[in-house]
Amino acid sequence: MSRIGKKPIDLPAGVSATLSGRTVEVKGPKGVLSFRATDDVTIEVSDNAITVTPRGRSKRARQQWGMSRTQIQNCVTGVSEGFRKELEISGVGYRAQMQGKDLKMQLGYSHDVIFKVPEGVSVSAPKQTEVVVEGIDKQLVGQVAANIREWRKPEPYKGKGIKYKDEYIFRKEGKKK
């Protein structure tokens, strides 16, 4: 039995969900998200909760049970609270700033890196060494943050680069004479 799948998804105030076929559409104060489930699960929407149950006892049905419940929970959380990833930039001369809708970063290359922000996500740079990615789609927020981090991953000797705010960089000792 899936411990995650068994739990019903509570709908907070201001959030509504509708079911049409296998597609769940969640509306909230921040926007609208939808999730299309597979044939392996059954979804039921009541007044203030959504329940997901597997169809049959196959391995795939049990896998989709927990995954579908988590995806719907992410939709509910996204339209009510939203998701946020914070990145820190460390290194001499490394900085970031918003230039219109694009993120302009100086990361030690011979040129500035211009990152085009995709639709559905907002990126801001409150300080020169901080970048904040926000949105309602958890997957998209995480992917945009990973794409920004990809430009200069943190290195283990001095810790220079772009890292997540809560990330720990395993440090190495340099050469000894």
User: pLDDT, tens digit, for every residue of 19-74?
Assistant: 999 999 999 999 999 999 999 999 999 989 999 999 999 999 999 999 999 999 99
Does residue 175 sit within a domain? no
How far apart are alpha carbons 23 and 32 in whole angstroms? 13
CB 62 within 8 A of CB 2: yes
**Can you tell me whether residue 37 is helix, strand or coil?**
coil
CB-CB contact of 25 with 17 (8 Å): yes
Q: Are residues 11 and 37 in the same domain?
A: yes
Question: What gap in Å lies between CA 26 and CA 164, rounded to an integer?
Answer: 29
Residue 114 has pLDDT above 90, yes or no: yes
| pLDDT > 70? residue 145 | yes
pLDDT score at 1: 66
Residue 123 pLDDT greater than 90, yes or no: yes
Query: pLDDT digits over 67-83, tens only?
Result: 999 999 999 999 999 99
CATH of the domain at 55: 3.90.930.12
Residue 87 near residue 133, CB atoms below 8 Å:
yes
Backbone angles phi, psi at 66, to 5 degrees: -70, -40
- Which position has the token pair 């309602």? 136
What domain count does the chain have? Answer: 2
Q: Which amino acid is at 68?
A: S
Q: Containing domain of residue 37, as a range?
A: 3-80
**Closest by CA position to 117, among listed 88, 94, 148:** 148
Among 21, 53, 80, where does a domain finish? 80
pLDDT score of 176: 86
User: Do 7 and 75 fall within a single domain?
Assistant: yes
Q: Hey, is 130 helix, strand or coil?
A: strand
pLDDT of residue 2: 73
Of 46, 80, 114, the residue that ends a domain is 80
Other Cβ atoms closer than 10 A to 175? 5
pTM of the shown model: 0.92
Q: Dump strand ranges (E) for 101-143.
A: 102-106, 113-116, 121-124, 130-135
